[in-house]
Amino acid sequence: MKNLYLPITVDHIARVEGKGGVEIIVGDDGVKEVKLNIIEGPRFFEAITVGKKLDEALAVYPRICSFCSAAHKLTAVEAAEKAIGFEVREEIQALREVLYIGDMIESHALHLYLLVLPDYMGYSNPLKMLDKYKKEINIALDLKNLGSWMMDELGARAIHQENVVMGGFGKLPDKTTLEKMKKRLQEALPLAEYTFELFSKLEQYEEVEGPIIHMAVRPRGDVYGIYGDAISVSDGFEFPSEDYKKHMVERVVEHSFAKHSFYNGEKPFMTGAISRVVNHADKLYGRAKELYESHKDLLRPTNPFANNLAQALELVYFMERGIDLIDEALAKWPIRPRDEVAVKDGFGVSTTEAPRGILVYALEVKDGRIAYADIITPTAFNLAMMEVHVRMMAEKHYNDDPERLKYLTEMVVRAYDPCISCSVHVVRL
């Protein structure tokens, strides 16, 4: 008897940024093929900045993403400063991290409450939750507005923050504003703890349980954080950020405008909040550390759905961290906004932890202009691993109602918090 092959497709995955779909081919004896079709058009941010003056290029890079524009701006500026051999003062670095934390708070809150929670509560979109879950929607908006306000104050805009410049900031908020920022973070901490408790009760589907290789930036100063100069792997290996191409190997795949990435060219891997927790939980402190210790059995390194709970844990942590960094900056007040920089030829790599995972910027500067640029985003790193987990879910449910299979595979994708638009990159035309 001839095999019958049935395609099950999700043309456009809902509640993710960008355009992507899932294609599952089912035969008489099970799942034959699973593809994450990334159909977002190629973007040429790297190529179009080659030849531009350095400061002009640094204004272009944050346009890659509206969700994570602060992450792109701050990582690009650090890569440029490394290329020209400049290092910012500690207090400037602390305030840049506070700006980055604003991005982290806004992004995690939107992902958890508006993209993930509707699945668990049985709604197709967050607006339909308003009648029954008004409290949760209000928390989402309060946290989102807090993160957005922090970026506005330190970056001069809620998105595409132009206030971050080589050498420091164009200007700094006054002392009163920073004290207000600290107070608002303190007041929002109970909302973050409520979020953690809420997500600790949600199911992590066992269908996708299995070994995962996790990668995360090793934070500077032995404190859980965002900036670092090396990549830690959950198998115990660690390598300098400059060696990212040796160990995080990109490969073109036919069904995707975004490349897939493999550890040492062989194994898919994961990056994101759960990877940070898996690799660096020992560097947490405060209330977040207590929550980790009491719920570590739920922050499982073997399940991508644990990424949701890890993001909720980070809401608590990064609020505490933001308060401490503001205190560090206030202790050195008044602060000079920036130092003069001398643009020289050179090559620099910056690796930071964006909300969705490792973000890499590699920039070469020659005669004051960009000579080479390579930008790899967390979703590009995650796509190969995401496809593995979608297949695992499909293999358990291919005999179910196709609509339930579609629903479950979309949930797998959303657990990664993908930003598909950012993942599509072309280095050379």
Q: Which amino acid is at 271?
A: T
Q: What are phi and psi of 422, to 5 degrees?
A: -65, -25
Please tell me the distance from the alpha carbon of residue 75 to that of residue 84, in angstroms, as a whole number. Answer: 14
Asked if omega into 304 is within 30° of 0 (cis), the reply is no
Q: Which amino acid is at 300?
A: R
Residues 6+ apart with CB under 8 A from 319: 101, 105, 185, 186, 188, 189, 192
Residue 28 burial by Cβ neighbours in a 10 Å radius (0-12, 13-18, 19+):
exposed
Which pLDDT tens digits describe the chain residue by residue (429 residues)? 445 566 666 666 555 566 677 888 888 888 998 988 876 667 788 999 999 999 999 999 999 887 889 999 999 999 999 999 999 999 999 999 999 999 999 999 999 999 999 999 999 999 999 999 999 999 999 999 999 999 999 999 888 889 999 999 999 999 999 999 999 999 999 999 999 999 999 999 999 999 999 999 999 998 999 999 999 999 999 999 999 999 999 998 888 778 899 999 899 999 999 999 999 999 999 999 999 999 999 999 999 999 999 999 999 999 999 999 999 999 999 999 999 999 999 999 999 999 999 999 999 999 999 999 999 999 999 999 999 999 999 999 998 998 899 899 999 999 999 886 565 554 443
On whether the CB atoms of residues 78 and 99 are closer than 8 A, the answer is no
Please tell me the distance from the alpha carbon of residue 112 to that of residue 312, in angstroms, as a whole number. Answer: 8
Helix ranges restricted to H, 110-234: 117-121, 134-155, 175-199
On whether the CB atoms of residues 161 and 173 are closer than 8 A, the answer is no
